[in-house]
């Protein structure tokens, strides 16, 4: 091959499945479920999308360690939660400073939507409790599945759920006051 000669194009023969191809194959059917879970764990949709992308890249680096493809869902959840916890730990400011479509941090205004309200309330919870509530109450995972994903016992999950719910109620009571479910209008200072 002499320099300057045109570069010939040809097709390569079929080769073994590359890690990225394997991950895409496994991830595609679960994409919607996992991405929505990532969005629910974060303060905003954009944060959730970033979390999902970061988890996907982390999973790409570790896909060789996945023994059984049947266990991929739980495995990816574990990766997702691990990345989520790292993000929460390493960037405290990111929970406070909004980026993109995030609402400004601080006390919500009176016309805040239900989704935004629960996001704010969840963001105030310890990360383990937040994960447990999101996985159980929104993702509809069983306690056993959450215990597997979080790597703790079932009783620990139940405890996290109970304490998380209690704290949520407390946050709703203190920060949002009485809620009129019909209008979603906030009445500050009221009692539920």
Partner 1 sequence: MSIQPAIDSDLRQLAGDSERGLPDFAETAARLAGGGSPYRDDRPGAEARRRALIESRLIEVALMPVGLERVYVHRVARAAAGGAALLGAAAIMVGVLDPWTGRMLQILSGMPLAILAPVLIGFATLAAYVLAGLIAEHHVERRLRDAVRSRGELYTDIEHLEAARPLEEVRRMVNGVDAVAVALPLLGASLGLAVCGFLMAFYFLPGNQMANAAYYSLGPVALVTVLSIAFVIDLARACVRERKSPSRPALLVLAEHWGTLIVGGLLGSFVLWYGARVVEGVRVAGFVPGEGKRLLLIATAVAAKVLPLTWTLLWVRRREQRRVSG
Contact range with partner 1 by CB under 8 A, out of 29-37, 72-80, 91-99, 145-153: 29-37
- Residue 53 sits in the site that holds partner 1 (CB under 8 A): yes
- Residue 62 sits in the site that holds partner 1 (CB under 8 A): no
- Residue 74 sits in the site that holds partner 1 (CB under 8 A): no
- Residue 56 sits in the site that holds partner 1 (CB under 8 A): yes
78: left (phi over 0), alpha (psi -120 to 50) or beta: alpha
- Residue 142 sits in the site that holds partner 1 (CB under 8 A): no
* Owner of token pair 């309200």: 117
Calpha distance 147→133 (Å, rounded): 12
- Residue 36 sits in the site that holds partner 1 (CB under 8 A): yes
- Residue 76 sits in the site that holds partner 1 (CB under 8 A): no
- Residue 179 sits in the site that holds partner 1 (CB under 8 A): yes
Among 14, 16, 32, 70, binds partner 1 (CB under 8 A): 32
CA separation, residue 22 to residues 73, 89, 186 (Å): 14, 30, 49
Among 24, 66, 105, 127, binds partner 1 (CB under 8 A): 24
Calpha distance 92→67 (Å, rounded): 34
CA angle 54, 63, 45 (to 5 degrees): 25
Q: Characterize the bridge pairing of strands 178-180 and 185-187.
A: antiparallel
Calpha distance 98→47 (Å, rounded): 10
Binding site for partner 1 (CB under 8 A): 1-3, 7-12, 20-21, 23-24, 27-28, 31-32, 35-36, 39-40, 45, 48-49, 52-53, 56-57, 60-61, 113-115, 117-119, 121, 133, 137-138, 165, 168-169, 172-173, 178-181, 192
């Amino acid at each position: 091959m002499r320099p300057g000669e045109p570069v010939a194009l040809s097709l390569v023969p079929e080769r073994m499945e590359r890690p990225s191809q394997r991950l895409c194959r496994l991830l595609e059917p679960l994409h919607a479920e996992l991405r929505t879970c990532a969005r629910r764990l974060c303060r905003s949709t954009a944060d959730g999308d970033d979390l999902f992308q970061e988890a996907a890249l982390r999973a790409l680096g570790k896909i060789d360690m996945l023994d059984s493809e049947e266990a991929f869902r739980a495995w990816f959840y574990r990766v997702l939660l691990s990345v989520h916890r790292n993000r929460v730990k390493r960037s405290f400011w990111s929970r406070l400073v909004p980026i993109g479509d995030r609402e400004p941090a601080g006390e919500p205004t009176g016309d805040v939507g239900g989704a935004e309200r629960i996001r704010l309330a969840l963001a105030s919870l310890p990360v383990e409790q937040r994960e447990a509530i999101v996985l159980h109450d929104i993702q509809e995972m069983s306690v056993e599945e959450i215990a597997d994903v979080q790597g703790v016992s079932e009783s620990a999950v139940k405890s996290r759920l109970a304490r998380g719910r209690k704290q949520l109620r407390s946050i709703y009571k203190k920060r949002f006051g009485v809620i009129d479910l019909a209008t979603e209008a906030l009445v500050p200072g009221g009692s539920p």
